[in-house]
A = this chain, B = another copy of it.
Amino acid sequence: MGDDEPGRAANGRAPTIRDVARAAGVSVGTASKALNGRGQLRTETRARVRAEAERLRFRPNDLIRSMQRGRTYTVGLLTGDREGRFSLPLVMGVEDALGEAEILVFFCNTRGDPERERREMESLLAKQVDGLIVMGWRSNLRPPIAVPDARVPVVYAYSRVADPAALCLLPDQAHGARLATERLLAAGRRRLAHITGPTDYEAVWERWEAMAAVLAEHGLGLPEERVLCGVWEEGWGYAATGTLLDRDPAVDGVFCGSDTIARGVLDALRDRGRRVPEDVAVVGFDNWEILARFARPPLTTIDMNLHDLGREAARRLLAMVGGAREAGVVLLPCRLVARASCGVAGDETVH
């Protein structure tokens, strides 16, 4: 007794509860009680079993526990974001919330391929995951994931499906646009423009409408010639700024649909001799730190709080695993990160 190599039973297997029982000279049932802290046992017996378990480096097998409990304490996370720019903060938020509940996350990147998504989902279900989180990389409608087992709850995070029984968590794009527009107005700007991405993104429409609504509340307009929709690229921001200034040289504030676009806008304004924020104030979207913090000047931008969205998705999934029923589209707030590109008197800008 007590002379097996730690971490291995005599035959080289990982030690089991049987090996612990044998080493401690007790039955399997007694060893199990001792390790679980259940049942009536002499203190000495309990201590001996625990000492042998530690010496043998016995690790309780989660697979067995999982089958006993009918839960695996695993969650599958499916994302279609090739670049990871949006999914990574989400994943970290999910992981933070699930880690507190001692749940591990299977990560599957489907590259936006429906066939791959179906295969990965089947693999996740075969592993008996307790639930699924399905992430998008834009808020457009996507087809619901066809989970053949209705008992496996699904939360859509940063992605939206038409199924009214589904739970979808999204950043509130209109709220973000409202924050950006109000900040430009607070900086004394009255002749605003919007340079953004392609119109096949719902977010493009939602933000445009919200911006126009805020301006209307202040008795200001947003004529179409001052809204330029293109692609999510720096080069587009640069080119669009040239077009904008040709159309209307008096523009004094630009709300950009992404930080990449904003970088191009800032470069073009500088090349045209416009000072930022003195002549033109600029606000971006995404708070992609590496672009926003080192822009010249540093960029005021909207943060979609994707880490928090990931945490919230995980929390709601856990509630559903526990039996709660949740459905509908939940919009979570954005926040504005103030930096020098949109100077407001008395503003605590971050440099």
Interface pair A149/B108, CB less than 8 Å apart? no
The segment from A123-131, A205-213, A218-226 that touches chain B is A123-131
Residue of B nearest to A290 (CB): B260
Contact-size category for A:
35 or more
Partner of A124 from the list B83, B104, B264 (CB cut-off 8 Å) is: B104
Q: With A63-B63, A233-B294 given, is the CB distance from A104 to B127 under 8 Å?
A: yes
Interface of A is mostly: mixed
A 1-22 binary contact with B (CB < 8 Å = 1; else 0): 0000001100010100000000
The segment from A54-62, A159-167, A313-321, A322-330 that touches chain B is A54-62
Q: How far is the CB of A285 from chain B (nearest CB, A)?
A: 15
Q: How far is the CB of A110 from chain B (nearest CB, A)?
A: 10
User: What residues of B have a CB within 8 angstroms of the CB of A106 in the complex?
Assistant: 74, 104-107
In the assembled complex, A303 has its CB within 8 A of some CB on chain B: no
User: What residues of B have a CB within 8 angstroms of the CB of A105 in the complex?
Assistant: 106-108
A66 to B84, CA, bound (A): 31
Partner of A150 from the list B7, B104, B235 (CB cut-off 8 Å) is: B7
Q: In chain A, residues 98-132, which have Cβ atoms closer than 8 Å to a Cβ of chain B?
A: 99, 102, 104-109, 120, 123-128
In the assembled complex, A346 has its CB within 8 A of some CB on chain B: no
In the assembled complex, A345 has its CB within 8 A of some CB on chain B: no
Interface pair A294/B125, CB less than 8 Å apart? no
Interface pair A267/B290, CB less than 8 Å apart? no
Partner of A128 from the list B61, B126, B263 (CB cut-off 8 Å) is: B61
Residue of B nearest to A88 (CB): B84
A88 to B79, CA, bound (A): 12
A 324-346 binary contact with B (CB < 8 Å = 1; else 0): 00000000000000000000000
* A-B contact list, 20 entries, CB within 8 Å: A7-B151, A14-B151, A61-B128, A62-B126, A62-B128, A63-B67, A63-B127, A63-B128, A64-B67, A74-B127, A84-B84, A91-B107, A95-B109, A99-B120, A104-B106, A105-B108, A106-B107, A234-B294, A263-B294, A264-B294
Residues of A within 8 A of B (CB): 7-8, 12, 14, 57, 59-64, 66-67, 72, 74, 77, 82-84, 88, 91-92, 95, 99, 102, 104-109, 120, 123-128, 148-151, 233-235, 260, 263-264, 267, 290-291, 294, 296
